[in-house]
């Protein structure tokens, strides 16, 4: 999901967030997509393990649903430790 490293040298708050937006066809089971998305985020080496992973539907278009995922990133990773 998140495959780029970055260092925030102006980090004031210990938490940083990854927000991922993607499209899902109506032919897919949204409940299953939600479960898979949350599980993938929790398995990410960047997930902080402290904050809940949030999934939501951002928009509904004719052919697909625009979904979003939000999760906390590790503080040590952001500092390059």
The predicted model scores a pTM of 0.70
| 12 confidence band (pLDDT: 50, 70, 90) | low
pLDDT in tens, 25-79: 999 999 999 999 999 999 988 888 888 899 999 999 999 999 999 888 876 554 4
* Interatomic CA distance for residues 47 and 41, integer angstroms: 7
Residue 77 tokens read as 């990773």
Q: What phi, psi does 33 have (nearest 5°)?
A: -60, -40
């Amino acid at each position: 999901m998140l495959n780029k490293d970055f260092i925030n040298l102006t980090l004031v708050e210990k938490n940083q967030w990854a927000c991922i937006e993607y499209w899902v066809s109506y032919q897919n089971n949204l409940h299953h997509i939600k479960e898979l998305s949350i599980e993938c985020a929790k398995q990410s080496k960047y997930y902080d393990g402290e904050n809940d992973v949030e999934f939501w539907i951002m928009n509904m278009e004719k052919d697909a649903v625009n979904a979003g995922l939000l999760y906390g990133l590790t503080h040590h990773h952001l500092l390059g430790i």
